[in-house]
Amino acid sequence: MMHIKYKLDRSRHHGVGLFAGQDIQKGQLIYTASPSLDVNITKAQFDLLDFKEQQEVRYWGFWVEKDKVWHVDFDVSKFINHSFEPTTTQDFSKKEALLVATRDIKIEEELTQNYLEFESEDVLRARGIEID
């Protein structure tokens, strides 16, 4: 669930991106996982899906190696693009998934996250994300 004002727009990183609809302070809460809008799919469940459904999960979600699940968000957080200079980061001091601002973010600035926080370099390369 998003805790800030936002908008979707064209991204210089990848297709569509999520942009701040307000100024955000460093450390401010941006996103928390929602039991209603976030789904974890086990490998066994994934294997039961037909090919097109699996493609959708691969496109919209990502594999969480540590938990051995596919994670799919059904909110706009899925439009947070990858960057090695991210504006958001996972707060690993909390058990639940949440994102906070890495620095002050100005209105209309793109929200990004370093995907290496939750995916391997091999997975990123397989998804077509340049990491070099």
CA 77, 36, 120: angle at the middle one, nearest 5? Answer: 45
The CATH architecture that domain 6-113 belongs to is Beta Complex (2.170)
pLDDT tens per residue, range 46-92: 999 999 999 999 888 888 888 899 989 888 988 999 899 999 998 88
> Which phi and psi (to 5°) does residue 48 adopt?
-80, -15
Which pTM value belongs to this model?
Answer: 0.80
Q: Kindly list the domain boundaries of the chain, sorted by start residue.
A: 6-113
pLDDT tens per residue, range 1-11: 899 999 999 99
pLDDT tens per residue, range 7-37: 999 998 878 999 999 999 999 999 998 888 8
